[in-house]
Structure 1
Amino acid sequence: MAEVLFYANAIELSRDSKANVLSLGLGGGQLNGFLHHNFPKLNITVVELSAQMVRMARKWFNLQTDDHHRVIVDDGVRFVEKEAAKGAKYDALMVDACYANPREEITMCPVRIFLQEHIARSISQVISSRAPTYTERLHLGETIIDKTTAITVKGRDITYAKILLMQNYDPTIIR
């Protein structure tokens, strides 16, 4: 997922890069930790719904936070809506807020609420106007696309996909 930030020119591939990055969903914190360690001038904000997930990331994955890397326990939808209302802008947006159903071997990324048009509108409002069109679309990580839904809000395409869980599959960038 990190590579798309650089391929799309949302962030310059330089240790001295400065950009505001918003990540909805923490997981173990490895992606954000990688970005923070290798690009220390990035301003990274992670929003995670579960305080337990944050505790696990700190304990088991050595999650480190500081002035340039913060984790906020909040609902991602509510956070994006508040940021849009304030006029906040981010140069890159990553969504790792997923619902997994192991019995059906299906993961929905992002969770269904992000498919609603008013949420897509809020997301489009927090994406910096300097970001190229490519980065105004959500990258969903290592996926196989089963079904794709595209929402266009004010000329910005936001693409989501239903994905199947698979192992040893090469990353695909959703465009």
Structure 2
Amino acid sequence: MAAAPFALGTLQLEKNSKVWNILEIGLGTGILNSFLHDMFSNMNITVIELEKGMYEIAKKYFGLIEDDYQRIIIEDGLKYLEKTASQLKFDVIFIDACYDRIVSEVICPVEAFALEENLEIIKEALTENGIVVLSVLTFEEFELREVLACGEFRKNTAKFVRKLKEIYNKFEFYSVPHIE
């Protein structure tokens, strides 16, 4: 998830003075936002987490830091967007909101983030060139293909793969994903 905004050109690897506004819906262990916070000093990160227990786990066991550049808000992610979409704009919105148990073939995202009327709210919260990075976890291969097909990266697959490899090398990730 961390590499997608760089590979798609929304965020720049090179240090510059622009402040990137990042929204993450779904804290989990806090690894994604902590990684971005540690690697890039020019990111203003807001994380929305529904469960206070997840927040406490991230602080206690995963070293989650809150400061002027990273804040955690305990609230329903969709309700937060409904309240703020017209005022706050984000360069990247990460949606990593998952069910806490198996309720259908799709575990992530929770259904609310796939409803058309809610996609409009999410879109309203983006800057002009902003993107949404959505975590998808499914047991149904057909549904996964359908989700991946809705992106437009296929038009520029070679460029996307080249940029992704560059990002993986910079961050010293252990393996580059296989993309067909």
Secondary structure class of the residue paired with 2:42: coil
d(CA) in 2 for partners of 1:172, 1:97:
25
Q: Which runs of 5+ in 2 are unaligned?
A: 153-175
d(CA) in 1 for partners of 2:113, 2:15:
32
1:17-72, Cα deviation, whole Å (9 max, x unpaired): 52000000001001100000010110000000011110110000010010110100
1:95-114, Cα deviation, whole Å (9 max, x unpaired): 1101154598x552110111
Cα 1:35–1:88 change in 2 (3 A) is: same
Residues 66-77 of structure 1 correspond to what in structure 2 (within 5 A)? 66-77=67-78
Secondary structure class of the residue paired with 1:91: strand
Superposition misfits of 4+ residues, deviation over 4 angstroms: 141-145, 170-173
**Contact residue 138 and residue 158 of structure 1 kept, 8 A:** no
d(CA) in 1 for partners of 2:110, 2:98:
5
Structure 2 length as normaliser, TM-score?
A: 0.73
Q: Which runs of 5+ in 1 are unaligned?
A: 151-156, 160-169
Larger radius of gyration: 2
Cα 1:107–1:59 change in 2 (3 A) is: farther
Q: Which has the higher contact order (CA 8 A, sep 6+)?
A: 2
How far residue 172 of structure 1 moved from its aligned partner, in angstroms, is 7.5
Identity %: 34
1:106-159, Cα deviation, whole Å (9 max, x unpaired): 55211011122221110010011033xxx3x43326778541566xxxxxx789
Cα 1:24–1:61 change in 2 (3 A) is: same
How many residue pairs get matched?
A: 152
d(CA) in 2 for partners of 1:172, 1:78:
36
Which residue is 1:58 aligned to? Answer: 59
d(CA) in 1 for partners of 2:27, 2:178:
20
1:3 paired with 2:7, answer: no
Which residue is 2:127 aligned to? Answer: 128
Q: Alignment RMSD, CA only?
A: 3.0
**Contact residue 19 and residue 44 of structure 2 kept, 8 A:** yes
**Larger proportion of helix:** 2
Cα 1:158–1:54 change in 2 (3 A) is: farther
**Larger proportion of strand:** 1
